[in-house]
Amino acid sequence: MYRSRFCCISRGLLNTVQLKEIPVCRNVRCIQHLVTTGRYHIQNQSLKCQTSLIHSDTTLYAKGKNKPKKASGTMMEDEEISEFVDIASYKEKLDKIVNKLKQDYMEQIVLRTDTGSFEKLPVPTKDGTFPLNQIASIIRKSPSLIVINLNQSLGYVPDVMQSLQKSGMNINPQQDGPTTIFINIPMVSREHREKLAKNAKTLLNQSKEKMSKEYSSFTRQLKKDLAADKKSKIDKRLLHEKTVSLDKATEMMKAKQKELLDN
């Protein structure tokens, strides 16, 4: 038995097939049969078309199109997850990373560098991490030249050089003698702005790596014998907190880049 391609089957529930006639199975008495079988045959064309339909109350959804999304499930609350991992400490560490990035953007990724940009620059050493002004004197010799003297901290010169180079300030420190470092302040040009904007992205990536390390550290703290479904929910919550912090950091970077490039 054949029906026109403008029959009720093709008119609203299936895409119109560009053939003159659509052969219909003799068992087809209603749309329910089509839903149940999930297929129809086109004879004389050696063509079988498989169709997957989803029935939800009175609505039919084609596969992959307008299909209702499954509920993602509820997120574990702090009180519940705290039985297995220190969620408060985890969030505090992520917040610390975001705040450090914010501070770096305010003090280091600036158009007009002055002595204040160097004073709180963290310098990691074998004895710990110190702000630069604690281990060196910082003097502005001229509008375009800053001198850093480490007479009292000779052993930290290589550490200071490395910190300056990685600061993101778009500077090229030069060592002069065993204890002195000269820094020529770059002019505020378009090139300088673009390099600072690029360095803002670099600092964001460094923060992202720190967040990933914290995430990995806390997931390793979970007991190996913990039920798989429980472990999955905890991991989902930890990943969510990391994503939230990364989104904040990314927005900060975009704002800093806009500030640098639009002014």
**261 vs 247: CA distance, rounded Å:** 21
User: Exposure of 120 by Cβ count < 10 A (0-12 exposed, 13-18 middle, 19+ buried)?
Assistant: middle
CA distance 204 to 255: 12
> Which fold, 78-101+189-262?
Topoisomerase I; Chain A, domain 4 (1.10.132)
Least confident of 26-30, 116-120, 141-145, 228-232: 26-30
- Asked if residues 116 and 169 have their Cβ atoms less than 8 Å apart, the reply is no
* Least confident interval from 6-10, 223-227, 254-258: 6-10
For 90-147, the pLDDT digits (tens) are 999 999 999 999 999 998 898 887 788 899 899 999 999 999 999 999 999 888 899 9
Residues of the chain with CATH 3.30.1360.40: 134-184
In whole angstroms, give the CA distance from residue 58 to residue 166: 62
Token couple for 164: 């300056």
> How would you class 92 by CB atoms within 10 Å of its CB: exposed for 0-12, middle for 13-18, buried for 19 or more?
exposed
User: Residue with structure tokens 């992959």?
Assistant: 64
The CATH code for residues 134-184 is 3.30.1360.40
Residue type present at position 246: L
Question: Distance between CA 243 and CA 245 in Å, rounded?
Answer: 5
**pLDDT at residue 186, as a whole number:** 87
